[in-house]
A and B are shown apart, each in its own frame.
Chain A
């Protein structure tokens, strides 16, 4: 046995050397994936879709340990009162319709009747009351996303098919927020231990969506099968398998090998390689996400709006989009992203062209003049500060580009790269930072109150700690305006005002790149995580 094994391994060692040569010369050859199925037209039932996720998910949308890898499955199996519509406006899910009271201080949701949990138990308004009153609104549980419901006092079960959200202040965005990771939990399963029941979170949860969990294998995969008790039409797919593949490059290799049906391409550098692969298509999707540079407002240098504007002029944002996003993104000048098409104001896109002369000019007006070494100075002090860089995604190359751009206008930014967890503690929890780049992803609604209101400065989500009475007023008006037209008017003003005052320095709106097998049909044109709400409509063309 000892020596028998030797030969094959020696062969594979030789093959390994060959492999290095092959990859060096050609950058890997064509995959063996079969050609696209040409079948069009009628949807067909059956088949398995495979989707990679980066780590073991936590199957409970309100668990504080449900990180980004949990979103795919949680959005597919748990249903909220609403879900993001295909236009991102809130659409019916477990609720059929909703209305706000004349005073705007409550919302009433009419629930769908005849809904059952995947274990056959009937779903009712009690489950909604439980999810909010006993989980989300309970301060000592620390439920995820709890901060989004600060305006909700309690949820009243009016009758088995009606619930009312009672508010402490007007909250027009509530139906949109309920579409965002706000799945309803089964009271009959979780009443003892809503957020830490392992057999639920890491096993086979009870849910209401078109699919339910069949098997959870830690470190390997989670498989979904059809939920026979689902109230809607029977889903086409027979099975959906989420494989746990932590390395993004391995995910790409698996897609090239034909082992994956659809995935988000995190490493955009691979986009050209994937485009040439047989049987795979590449699509880009808008996201409700924007990158920003926060300048801590406790630093007096950054309270001068001319300095903030000068920085935006000085940074070549198009170059950042080109080099780190491979063109998949657009310049941002406000917190409202193009994905929110009903609200987004495209006229602001060209507000700050890349113009370093203008940047120098504005900095000079603010009292910053070049010293002998070219570095800007004011009162004998050089313009020098540290930017903390969290090690995640594209943040490292982006910071390097910003550093170079600022240097050209005489501002010295030192980069302090940190492991992600330590970075969050320093910059977010302690607010011990001067400048840092990051991003916000938020529910599909222009209500950005938590990230901008002065009440959140220094401790909540207002990272720069910017405080401005006029902005506060706009944010509150937006929450109070309940009809679409008046909301549009408020948020148009808010976009104009934030692009002028720059509470955060807006960088760009990223797009998601999805790699999709050409045989997969019926996926709506949404970011993949949002498209999970429509898993019941996906289908596979026969090859």
Chain B
């Protein structure tokens, strides 16, 4: 699956119009362009280059970046922790906020609270991240001056608290790309579960509404939510592209943007492989999580 993704990416990026940024600039003469194409080995056929790349990749060598001459694996390893921190924080925010909001909406279905929260999530869903990001920076970085506006750490101080402060705004901005979806999934699946016979049975047994919700309803309602969250991981990683650009966050999203704009073929392919691996990993984690929530799925 990952090999398939790499082949698809390699061929597509090489077929895309344009070329590496070093040759696609206004002030490069035709003879310089020719020399550089030769230096980068781009005068050789794409299948040949792909097989060479693949042979290296299985040994852990993802090739050399055309933009910086550094190993692709090193460039990604440099950025991966930052992206995982950002995306992980955004995921936690979305789950911690999204599930309770969805449950509250389901319990208060059709009431004012439900409508208000629906409105907020609808706004959240429709606001573009780059705009929200700038607004967050203007309010918290410029006007209130309580949070740093960009970067992963200050030039002068590099403490845990400083890093945490830098993380808040981008994580909140990125969370909005999936939070509304988590809320909606939770709301609809909770509503569905609340209509089930066993909930009515539990309620008629005289259990308190709280026990019914947390012990009976929520547990069952979470099953589709967990699979939805797994499916949201790729969207979250996609959202890092814009979020990282706005907040100057040195992660893989920004690297991917630079790689795509600069037609850094090995880097684009390497990033795709890593992201594909993360997506596969996320779906495995979801499968494991299922068995924890739903005992029926547990292997005896």
Contacts and interface: CB of A to CB of B under 8 A. Distances in A.
A250 B68 contact: no
B207 interface: no
Given A23-B139, A201-B68, A422 B248 contact: no
A459 B68 contact: no
Contacts of B115: none
Contacts of A217: 250
Contacts of B251: 219
A159 B22 CA distance: 36
Contact of B19 (A202, A247, A425): A425
Nearest to A253: B137
Interface string A252-278: 011011010000000000000000000
B260 to A, nearest CB: 9
Name the interface size band of chain B. 35 or more
Interface in B103-145: 120, 130, 132-143, 145
Nearest to A141: B35
A198 B68 contact: yes
Interface stretch (B45-53, B151-159, B277-285, B286-294): B151-159
Contact of A249 (B134, B143, B254): B134
Contacts of B261: 419-421
A220 B250 CA distance: 6
A218 B78 contact: yes
Interface in B229-265: 245-248, 250-251, 254-255, 258, 261-263
Contact of B93 (A9, A64, A223): A9
Contact of B250 (A202, A219, A440): A219
Interface string B13-45: 000111101111111111111011011000000
A287 to B, nearest CB: 16
B223 interface: no
A223 B68 contact: no
Contacts of A223: 155
Contacts of A244: 248, 250
A146 B29 contact: yes
A5 B101 CA distance: 14
A37 interface: no
A41 to B, nearest CB: 28
A256 B35 CA distance: 45
Chain A CB within 10 Å, residue with most, of B29, B39, B247, B255:
B29
A142 B39 contact: yes
A250 B68 CA distance: 25
Given A142-B39, A219-B250, A425-B19, A12 B172 contact: yes
B28 A64 contact: yes
B67 interface: yes
Summarize B's interface: helix, strand, loop or mixed: helix
A174 to B, nearest CB: 18
B262 A421 contact: yes
B97 A145 contact: no
B21 A67 contact: yes
Interface stretch (A14-22, A205-213, A315-323, A513-521): A14-22
B24 A259 contact: no
A201 B69 contact: yes
Given A55-B258, A140-B35, A422 B145 contact: no
A254 B148 CA distance: 9
A162 interface: no
Interface string A405-443: 000000000000001111011101100000000101000
A421 B250 contact: no
Contacts of A55: 258
A22 to B, nearest CB: 6
B79 interface: yes
Contacts of A482: none
B189 interface: no
Contacts of B168: 12
Nearest to A17: B120
A353 interface: no
B297 interface: no
Contacts of A245: 150-151, 248
Contact of B96 (A9, A58, A202, A221): A9
Interface stretch (A27-35, A107-115, A298-306): A27-35
17 contacts: A16-B136, A19-B136, A20-B135, A23-B138, A141-B39, A196-B69, A219-B251, A221-B151, A243-B155, A247-B248, A253-B137, A254-B149, A254-B150, A256-B142, A259-B148, A422-B16, A428-B26
Interface of B: 16-19, 21-33, 35-36, 38-39, 67-70, 75, 78-79, 82, 92-93, 96-97, 100, 120, 130, 132-143, 145, 148-153, 155, 168, 172, 245-248, 250-251, 254-255, 258, 261-263
Interface of A: 2-3, 5-6, 9-10, 12-13, 15-20, 22-23, 28-32, 48, 50, 55-56, 58, 64-65, 67, 139-147, 196, 198, 201-202, 217-221, 223, 241, 243-247, 249-250, 253-254, 256-257, 259, 419-422, 424-426, 428-429, 438, 440, 459-461
Q: Which 3 A-B pairs have the closest CB atoms?
A: A219-B250, A421-B18, A142-B35
Given A29-B142, A249-B246, A421-B261, 18 more contacts: A2-B96, A6-B96, A20-B135, A23-B138, A30-B143, A64-B28, A67-B21, A139-B35, A140-B39, A144-B32, A146-B29, A201-B68, A219-B254, A219-B255, A220-B248, A243-B248, A424-B24, A461-B29
